[in-house]
Amino acid sequence: MIANSDDIAGKLLEFTSKVTHEALHDLQLTIDGIRVADLTPATPTSLYRGEQLVVFGHYWGDGTADLSLTGKVSGHEKRYTTSFAFPAVATANPEIERLWAYAKIRELQERLDYLGADADAREAIVALAVEHGLVTDHTSMVVMREEQFAARGIERSNRDRRQHEQAAAAQRAATPVQSRRVDSHAPISTAPRASHGGGAMGIEIIVLIALLVLLNARYRRMEPR
């Protein structure tokens, strides 16, 4: 999809770069050292040159864990590994929880779009959207006066969530910019970022992997399954 504000020439170069370089396919992501669940996408498929892999999910526990991403390029196996510490509590970016819900809803909606009606998937979308205050094809927002919430026994969870997110954003804005990279001691990839500004590029695919972002499950209402 290309918007009016996009750099058309840059988009064409990006597309050309993808189709003229080999893709990393049959991806498998493993995490050892902590328990993880609810990953989205649940099964990453392929990575093209210049793309990032972003995975959201929940985890239990804390401490150092090993991350491994494997795949194939023209039948030859590739493996990328690193390790980093998962904190017991991290409160700087509460918006990540809503991003996880949004990503999960998109995954469930794609299942509905491809496979047709699925009551369980639709119910899951509605539950996630209501809990996290998100508008979907199956939910919407209703504007009400303040006193109507109490009269109908409606919890103000979305209001409280927004206040928490805004407070965290204000705190981040008041502090110097910090690097959030957690694999500096053992980078998962040392390849340069894909560029469309000229210069010779090898045929080896350049893999850019956004570090795994997970939510600590202690903030979830749902008990571990």
**Above pLDDT 90, what percent of the chain?**
23
- Does 178 fall in a domain? yes
Residue 213 confidence (pLDDT): 63
DSSP conformational letter for 206: P
Of 131, 111, 133, whose CA–CA distance to 122 is shortest?
Answer: 111
Domain around 76 = 8-218
More confident residue, 198 or 171: 171
C-beta separation of 21 from 48 below 8 A: yes
Residue 148 confidence (pLDDT): 86
The residues, any chain, with a CB within 8 Å of residue 179's CB and separated by 6 or more, are: none
- Does 3 fall in a domain? no
Mean pLDDT of 205-216: 52
Instruction: Check whether 208 has a pLDDT greater than 80.
Output: no
Instruction: Check whether 105 has a pLDDT greater than 80.
Output: yes
Predicted model pTM:
0.75
C-beta separation of 17 from 198 below 8 A: no
Residue 147 confidence (pLDDT): 84
- Does 170 fall in a domain? yes
The confidence band for 167, taking pLDDT boundaries of 50, 70 and 90, is very high
> Angle at which helices 95-115 and 119-132 pack, to 10 degrees?
160
The confidence band for 225, taking pLDDT boundaries of 50, 70 and 90, is very low
Between CA 167 and CA 10 the distance in angstroms is: 37
Mean pLDDT of 46-68: 86
- Does 185 fall in a domain? yes
Instruction: Check whether 212 has a pLDDT greater than 90.
Output: no
Q: What is the average pLDDT value for the chain, to the nearest integer?
A: 79
The confidence band for 187, taking pLDDT boundaries of 50, 70 and 90, is confident
Handedness of CA 83, 87, 90, 94 (dihedral sign): positive
More confident residue, 134 or 189: 134
- Does 2 fall in a domain? no
- Does 72 fall in a domain? yes
More confident residue, 128 or 222: 128
114-126 pLDDT per residue, tens: 888 888 999 999 9
Residue 223's φ and ψ, nearest 5 degrees, are -75, 150
Residue 222 confidence (pLDDT): 39
- Does 223 fall in a domain? no
Between CA 66 and CA 88 the distance in angstroms is: 16
The count of domains in the chain is 1
More confident residue, 49 or 125: 125
- Does 121 fall in a domain? yes
List the single range of 6-20, 37-51, 60-74, 202-216 with lowest mean pLDDT: 202-216
Instruction: Check whether 16 has a pLDDT greater than 80.
Output: no
Of 42, 44, 38, 41, whose CA–CA distance to 57 is shortest?
Answer: 38
Residue 158 confidence (pLDDT): 82
